[in-house]
């Protein structure tokens, strides 16, 4: 573990929806086992990587990812999604349940398309117009297509990738004419009803692009919506009265993508996190006292993830940006077990011995 490099990302602040999503999107693009956590004081993202030792290294890698995106595509390593709209035709990703299967077969013929479509659009529910429900992270306005959500942020960053990506990871600078795609509550947006492409101003292109790449982490994989009467919501979202709320933790333990997948599954899919509202309107997130996960330097030892706060954001109407809301974190005692704090990279875990079940059941 001594070969791991710590890279602080002061531009990605975890209690900002855009900052959190951008950190997750960045982690998905590294193509290596990396570890993500958050500074308890100012809540900036911290990455531990083997191949990358600085922000400049990360920017170099992301720039190469941009260069590899094929003509007409928008997402690294993905050629089948989003589907491009023919001139004058309707949005190809806005389909009714009867047409969803054929769309799924179409995008599955190319690399990565099926994974992205299933995270973005679900046929398990319809909107008021009878179309398949779209992931609430993917908000578009006017005459924009769903594919615009990925295409235009990618195009913006390509204009000056090294500068814009460095600014995204270190200190945000807003760029006139760049839109936050309703992920950035501090950006300004055009209200023109015929909006076709980026029409807002004051957004952070690099952070927006990275945030759009986090959609598959927050896709339609949870069981919420299977039971009768429950809403169909993707990972991270909770229905609270008539409002949908995006809820996420900040933690101190360096966690890999595999560990975080288990955390999302426990917190969202298994309903281990509860969300309600105080009398004064403040949201209250109820979570366990500790969350046990494998230690990053010893998979045979379970330690506390170190969640120090829960954050939430909502959209005010379908056209509103994802906006943070005050959230209180309530700890409830775990009736089964608790987990010790992680002792750090250099601490030597004792030999677990060759006992039955050392590597799990079975």
| Burial (CB count <10 Å: 0-12, 13-18, 19+), residue 245 | buried
pTM of the model: 0.91
User: Which residue in this structure is represented by tokens 């006992």?
Assistant: 355
CB of 135 closer than 8 Å to CB of 237: no
Two structure tokens written together for 84? 């491009």
Q: What pLDDT does residue 362 have?
A: 39
Where is pLDDT greater, at 294 or 348?
294
Q: What pLDDT does residue 144 have?
A: 83
User: Which residue in this structure is represented by tokens 């260069």?
Assistant: 67
Q: What pLDDT does residue 204 have?
A: 95
Q: What pLDDT does residue 191 have?
A: 59
308 pLDDT more than 90: yes
Number of other CB atoms surrounding residue 90 within 10 Å: 10
222 pLDDT more than 70: no
Give the whole-number percent of the chain exceeding pLDDT 90. Answer: 53
pLDDT category at 240 given cuts 50, 70, 90 is confident
Q: Which of 55-69, 84-98, 323-337 has the highest mean pLDDT?
A: 55-69
pLDDT category at 352 given cuts 50, 70, 90 is low
- 16-20, 91-95, 155-159, 334-338: which range is least confident on average? 334-338
Diameter of the chain measured on Cα atoms: 67
Where is pLDDT greater, at 10 or 241?
10
pLDDT category at 166 given cuts 50, 70, 90 is very high
318 pLDDT more than 80: no
pLDDT category at 358 given cuts 50, 70, 90 is very low
User: Which residue in this structure is represented by tokens 């460095």?
Assistant: 166
Two structure tokens written together for 197? 């492409």
Read off the pLDDT of each residue in 265-270 and give the average, rounded to a whole number.
72
- Which DSSP string do the residues of 183-200 spell out, in sequence order? S-TTSB----TT--S---
Number of other CB atoms surrounding residue 348 within 10 Å: 8
92 pLDDT more than 70: yes
Question: Residue 284 belongs to what H/E stretch?
Answer: strand 283-288
Q: What pLDDT does residue 70 have?
A: 87
Read off the pLDDT of each residue in 87-104 and give the average, rounded to a whole number.
91
216 pLDDT more than 60: yes
Q: What pLDDT does residue 335 have?
A: 65
Report the mean per-residue pLDDT for the chain.
86
Where is pLDDT greater, at 298 or 215?
215
With CA atoms as reference, report the closest residue to 40 among 229, 253, 268, 337.
Answer: 253
């Amino acid at each position: 573990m001594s070969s791991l490099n710590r890279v602080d990302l002061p531009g990605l602040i975890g209690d900002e929806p855009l900052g959190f999503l951008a950190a997750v999107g960045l982690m998905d693009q590294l193509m290596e086992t990396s570890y993500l956590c958050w500074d308890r004081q100012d809540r900036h993202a911290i990455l531990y990587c083997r191949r990358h030792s600085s922000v400049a290294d990360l920017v170099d890698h992301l720039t190469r990812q941009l260069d590899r995106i094929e003509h007409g595509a928008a997402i690294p390593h993905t050629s089948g999604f989003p589907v491009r709209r023919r001139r004058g035709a309707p949005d190809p990703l806005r389909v009714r349940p009867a047409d969803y299967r054929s769309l799924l077969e179409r995008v599955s013929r190319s690399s990565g398309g099926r994974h992205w479509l299933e995270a973005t659009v679900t046929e398990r529910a319809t909107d008021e117009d009878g179309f398949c429900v779209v992931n609430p992270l993917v908000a578009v306005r006017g005459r924009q297509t769903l594919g615009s959500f990925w295409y235009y942020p990618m195009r913006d960053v390509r204009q000056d990738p090294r500068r814009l990506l460095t600014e995204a990871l270190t200190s945000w600078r807003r760029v006139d004419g760049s839109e936050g795609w309703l992920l950035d509550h501090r950006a300004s947006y055009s209200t023109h009803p015929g909006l076709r492409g980026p029409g807002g101003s004051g957004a952070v292109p690099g952070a927006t692009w990275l945030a759009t790449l986090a959609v598959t982490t927050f896709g339609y994989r949870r069981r919420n919506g299977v039971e009768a009467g429950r809403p169909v919501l993707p990972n991270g979202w909770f229905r609270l009265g008539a409002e949908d709320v995006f809820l996420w933790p900040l933690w101190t333990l360096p966690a890999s993508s595999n560990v975080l997948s288990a955390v999302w599954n426990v917190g969202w899919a298994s309903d281990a996190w509860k969300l309600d509202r105080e009398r004064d309107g403040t949201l209250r997130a109820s979570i366990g006292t500790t969350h046990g996960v494998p230690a990053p330097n010893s998979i045979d030892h379970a330690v506390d993830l170190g969640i120090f706060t829960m954050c939430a954001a909502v959209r005010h109407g379908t056209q509103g940006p994802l906006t943070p809301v005050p959230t209180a974190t309530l700890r409830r005692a775990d009736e089964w077990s608790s987990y010790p704090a992680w002792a750090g990279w250099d601490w030597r875990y004792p030999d677990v011995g060759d006992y039955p079940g050392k590597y799990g059941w079975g």
